[in-house]
Amino acid sequence: MSGKKVITVFGATGAQGGGIISTFLSDPKLKNQWAVRGVTRDVSKDSSKKLAEQGVEVVAADINDKTSLVKALAGSYAAYGVTNYWEKADMKLEIQQGKNLADAAKEAGVQHYIWSSLYNVNKLSKGKLPHVYHFDSKAEVEDYVRELGIPATFFLPGFYMSNIPGGMFKPSPPDDAWTFGLPVAASSPIPMYDPRDTGKYIKAIVLNREALLGKHFLGATAYVTAQEIVDTFKTLFPEAGKTARFFQVPEEMFRGFMKSQGSPDYIVDEFYENMRLLEEFGYYGGEPLDESHKYVEDPLTTWEEYAAGAEPFAKLG
């Protein structure tokens, strides 16, 4: 690894980490300047072995064990830190894990720490939406990173496009028509994010370190309304699109469905308020995407491009 700067990527086998690693390994501007270290819990699993075969230095570390994190970060110029709230759905645990990463980055002397953050929805909504824990936890960690004085940029991933086809947008009763159902108005703006684009954003962040230290960097291609998501589907798949629709799910129906799937009350509250955020305050508090886009050199995946290749829609083309 001599002569190259090391970027250490946590969550190396996950969606965000995988997107970063593939970009840093293949991009002409990055591959000769950067060596990639991927951190995972289990270096013996197939996904870890695959990374090693591609030239990634794969190391094991446990996000709950600070000593292992410091070791994993040794010699890193940059690092990408991310936590997975949904693994345990425990806000306190996620905050502790995020602080562990921050402490380790500080101790290891990381020169550019990139934290996968989100807005504090409780503050943004002035207490109206107090249960969006997976946003607020990451925002608390961001505050901690700032307090520690680590040179850092805060990457805020948008709304995962991958959650839409076959999940939120699927054939539904009573007529089996393709239906995009959310408990918000059809006009609600959604910042569309393809996790495979993550490397394009992180490339922009490392190439513009000085300009972006201490800043938020918004990870989304464009704001697309819920209705526009359906309209694009209609254009791409005219036959299925004849009956495709957006359905504003009433609150009680939304809550009832989630409970029927076995979700505990606090998760039902969290999901409902997370959706309401889109309509009432904006996912990014209404912030435009241009300020971040001006640093991105590579074309970002549009909803149209994503939908055209999405597996759940594949038989419709």
Encode pLDDT of 142-164 as tens digits.
999 999 999 999 999 999 999 99
State pTM to two decimals. Answer: 0.96
- Residue 172 structure tokens: 């539904």
Name the average pLDDT for the chain: 97
Strand-pairing partners, residue 78, are 7, 112
Amino acid at position 273, single letter: E
- Residue 22 structure tokens: 């593939």
> Would you mind telling me the total number of residues written for the chain in this entry?
317
Do 307 and 165 touch, CB atoms closer than 8 A? Answer: yes
> What is residue 242's predicted lDDT score, i.e. its pLDDT?
97
Of 101, 132, 133, 135, give the one whose Cα is nearest residue 115.
Answer: 101
- Residue 124 structure tokens: 């943004």
136 sits in the region (left: phi over 0; alpha: psi -120 to 50; else beta) called: alpha
Of 193, 151, 183, 186, give the one whose Cα is nearest residue 284.
Answer: 193
Per-residue confidence at 83, pLDDT binned at 50, 70, 90?
very high
pLDDT in tens, 30-57: 999 999 999 999 999 999 999 999 999 9
Q: Taking 70 as the threshold, does the pLDDT of residue 99 lie above it?
A: yes
Per-residue confidence at 2, pLDDT binned at 50, 70, 90?
low
> What is residue 55's predicted lDDT score, i.e. its pLDDT?
95
Evaluate the CA torsion angle 281, 282, 285, 288 in order and state its sign: negative
Q: Taking 70 as the threshold, does the pLDDT of residue 1 lie above it?
A: no
> Strand 152-157 relative to strand 112-116: parallel, antiparallel, unpaired?
parallel
pLDDT in tens, 164-201: 999 999 999 999 999 999 999 999 999 999 999 999 99
At the topology level, CATH places domain 5-158+194-220+285-298 in Rossmann fold (3.40.50)
> What is residue 5's predicted lDDT score, i.e. its pLDDT?
98
Contacts (Cβ under 8 Å, ≥6 apart) of 85: 91, 94, 133, 134, 137, 138
DSSP character string of 267-310: HHHHHHHHHHHHHHT-TTTT--SHHHHTT--SPPPPHHHHHHH-
What are the sequence ranges of the domains in the chain?
Answer: 5-158+194-220+285-298
Q: Taking 80 as the threshold, does the pLDDT of residue 313 lie above it?
A: yes
- What is the end-to-end Cα distance of the chain in Å, rounded? 46
| Alpha carbon 209 to chain centroid, angstroms | 20
Of 280, 11, 262, 16, give the one whose Cα is nearest residue 162.
Answer: 16
pLDDT in tens, 225-277: 999 999 999 999 999 999 999 999 999 999 999 999 999 999 999 999 999 99
> What is residue 43's predicted lDDT score, i.e. its pLDDT?
93
Mean pLDDT computed over 85-97: 97
Q: Taking 70 as the threshold, does the pLDDT of residue 115 lie above it?
A: yes
Amino acid at position 269, single letter: D
- Residue 121 structure tokens: 């929805």
CA distance 6 to 49: 19
CA distance 170 to 166: 5
Q: Taking 70 as the threshold, does the pLDDT of residue 97 lie above it?
A: yes
Using a pLDDT cut of 90, give the percent of the chain over it.
98
Of 269, 231, 253, 268, give the one whose Cα is nearest residue 172.
Answer: 253
3-state SS, residue 5: strand
Q: Taking 80 as the threshold, does the pLDDT of residue 203 lie above it?
A: yes
